[in-house]
Structure 1
């Protein structure tokens, strides 16, 4: 079920992020990008990329252990799923589209898509979307 917060994040992405990043990643390159982002975050053991199980409503999914994707994805959607992987645990608990997820996603967009952080922060504020600029991967605190 999609919450009001989810709808706000998706609407913000479609209005702000999608027009600024038109790049598309073919499936056979996705694991390399996930591995690169994971290493850039100073982490080991990235989630595995695997084919998306058929679903009409789902574009892609991301969790700590796996990212499921179709034959190609816009880069910003792949980064969205990587942000889910970074803000969830192997047990499946995560931030959904909450402040830690959005903070992580913004960091990825700035670092890997070269989007302007101030512009992203301003548009998030306009859309009433809270975010944590200091967000860290959820599983780092799990000893």
Structure 2
């Protein structure tokens, strides 16, 4: 079941993020991108990519242990799923689309898609989407 918060975030992504990042990642390159993002963020043990048939309701899914995706994805969608992986636990508990998830996701969009942080912050505020600019992955490795 999709909440009003989820709908607002999806609408914001389609209106703001999608037009700014039109790059597509083929399935065969997704694990390398996941590994790169994970390592760059100072993490170890990235989730593994697994094939998934896209549906109208769900294009891809992400958790701490796995990201399931179709044959190709826009890079911002893959980053969305990586943000889910970074804000969830192995037991499946996570931040949903709450402020910590959005904060990590925005950080990834700025760092890896080179989107303007001021534009993202302004449009999130205009759409009533709360986010934590200081959010970090749930399970940062010690040392």
TM-score, structure 2 as length reference: 0.96
TM-score, structure 1 as length reference: 0.96
- Identify the residue that residue 57 of structure 1 maps to in structure 2: 57
Q: Is the Cα–Cα contact under 8 Å of residues 59 and 69 in structure 2 kept in the other structure?
A: yes
After superposition, residues 104-143 of structure 1 pair within 5 angstroms as 104-140=104-140
Q: Is the Cα–Cα contact under 8 Å of residues 44 and 141 in structure 2 kept in the other structure?
A: no
RMSD: 1.4
Q: Is the Cα–Cα contact under 8 Å of residues 51 and 71 in structure 2 kept in the other structure?
A: yes
The SS at the match of 1:138 is coil
Q: Which runs of 5+ in 1 are unaligned?
A: none
- Identify the residue that residue 95 of structure 2 maps to in structure 1: 95
Partners of 1:104 and 1:6 in 2: CA distance: 16
- Structure 1 segments of 4 or more deviating over 3 A? 53-56
CA shift, 1:56, in A, is: 3.8
- Identify the residue that residue 75 of structure 1 maps to in structure 2: 75
The SS at the match of 1:139 is coil
Partners of 1:119 and 1:54 in 2: CA distance: 30
